[in-house]
Amino acid sequence: MAQQSLLARATGGALALIGFLLSPLSWWNDLIVNFPLSYLIALPFGLIRESLFLPSFIGAYWLTNILGLLLLQKGGEKLFKKEASQIEPSKATKNTLIWSSIYTVLIAVLILSGVLTFPSELMARVR
């Protein structure tokens, strides 16, 4: 029983750590984690059709943030509670979603203004 509790706590801690790294709860994670992940996820869609790059980038960005929040919640439940329960969305989660929306608009502006582009020249060499 104690080993199961220890394993559940370790699993919860790992999930919470991965969730924190993916979640928008820290100022640095977008630049270091979510932005590069979203870019890598969007690249294959851009190879299929360049116009798919922006929507797939935004979709991947939102998915990484949402996945981070969910993993953080589930990890916290396993780490701190004996039984998992439903947690109501809090003010912090709402603020996180608002900031994610602001970052998404910023990313869209960067892509639409040409600051961040699909690497057409690089991909032409790879093809």
Where exactly are the structural domains of the chain? 2-126
The confidence score (pLDDT) of residue 84 equals 44
pLDDT digits (tens, 9 = 90+) for 37-50: 999 999 999 999 99
Tell me the C-alpha distance between 55 and 97, whole Å: 18
Residue 89 has pLDDT above 60, yes or no: no
Tell me the C-alpha distance between 100 and 72, whole Å: 16
Closest CA to 66 of 48, 93, 35: 93
Percent of the chain with pLDDT over 90: 24
